[in-house]
Amino acid sequence: MADRWGSRYPHRVQAAVFLDRDNTLIANDGDLGDPAQVRLIDGVASALLQLRDVGYRLVVVSNQGGVARGKFSEAEVDAVNERIATLIDESAKCRGLIERFYYCPYHPQGTSSRYRREHPWRKPQPGMLLQAGRDLGLDLRRSWLVGDQPRDVAAGHAAGCRSVMVSNDRELIEQAKPVAVVETFSEAVQHILRSGDSDRENLQPSPPSSNPAAASTAGESPTAVRKTPAAPIESGFSELRRAMLDLTEQLRSDRMRRVELTTLRMVAGVGQLLVVLLALFGLLQLDDMEAFVKWMLGAALLQLVTITMLLVDLRS
């Protein structure tokens, strides 16, 4: 039985192991948008199966700032994640081993205005873990995070999880201060299995993970469910607010000062000047309420037109 997100265990409060993606599950030193380039790190699939067999739910949490930098699209991130899920399932002979992929496409130095911003989902912030906790009903204090970077560990700790860092970089380890440091993913899983013994009695019975036939029960999600941050366009108001923040950020940036002044921007500038004049005329008519309202309505309408022109220009 699957819940609306495809979870097989909707009524169980369970611990999870949150997994960083790049250089934790797959070998990837750069931005990856091509599913054909996915290479699982040795031992990952069998180690994940061990975690699932003792009841941990497996959730990938990944920064994908390459989307904001224009290196690849969200659709390509989805394709890479699908490929990872497929390779893990094939290798472990199990379906849906990774329950969900969460990723954050935003980055404050992105080249795309749509994605150029800080976001609570971007590690070291714990947004993805907190969201997964709500979506899946997880007990975060009994959960773990496995990653290779200080930002992974920081996100895990901020969410109340324990952490294992897969690294041999002393400088990074010193920065991160994880609960445990290991050199391979398999060692990370062994550490969790040993340390998690005290939690074991609280974990629910192990799901039938190693039986593909059982896992293919009707209604279950065959592969991991994709989950990205709440769409920035949630309503007209939030879209306008987001766009205005974008505009403000850009106007503040040095880069923007060098951007060519377009016709649309010049017209919007003149329009903005007229808005101020209309509003001033309106204020001078305060003794005549009808005239005042007309002037102010005119100013408001013109303001909307100038904002629209700036937004069109920003997105072009």
Cβ-based nearer residue to Mg ion, 85 or 165: 165
**Which residues, 3 to 62, sit near Mg ion by CB under 5 A?**
20, 22-23
The count of residues in the chain is 316
Q: Which of 76, 89, 148, 199 binds Mg ion (CB under 5 A)?
A: 148
Count Cβ atoms below 10 Å from residue 104 Cβ, excluding itself.
23
Catalytically annotated residue among 3, 22, 78, 254: 22
Interaction between residue 210 and Mg ion (CB under 5 A)? no
CB 40 within 8 A of CB 32: no
Largest CA distance in the chain: 81
Q: Which stretch binds Mg ion (CB under 5 A): 6-14, 143-151, 181-189, 301-309?
A: 143-151
Q: How far is CA 154 from CA 57, 121, 132, 163, 218, in A?
A: 20, 13, 16, 9, 39
Cβ-based nearer residue to Mg ion, 99 or 148: 148
The answer to whether 20 is a known catalytic residue is: yes
CB 247 within 8 A of CB 253: no
Catalytically annotated residue among 20, 89, 152, 246: 20
Torsion sign across C-alpha atoms 106, 110, 115, 117: positive
Which pair of structure tokens corresponds to residue 289? Answer: 């309420």
Size of the site for Mg ion (CB under 5 A): 4
Least distance from Mg ion to the Cβ atom of residue 185, Å: 11
Between CA 242 and CA 250 the distance in angstroms is: 12
Residue 128 CA to its chain's centroid (Å): 6
Residue in this structure with the two tokens 């749509």, named with its chain if needed: 114
Least distance from Mg ion to the Cβ atom of residue 56, Å: 20
Cβ-based nearer residue to Mg ion, 55 or 147: 147
Between CA 167 and CA 296 the distance in angstroms is: 62
Cβ-based nearer residue to Mg ion, 49 or 153: 153
The answer to whether 287 is a known catalytic residue is: no
Least distance from Mg ion to the Cβ atom of residue 166, Å: 9
Cβ-based nearer residue to Mg ion, 61 or 215: 61
Between CA 30 and CA 51 the distance in angstroms is: 28
| Residues identified as active-site | 20, 22
Residues that bind Mg ion (CB under 5 A): 20, 22-23, 148
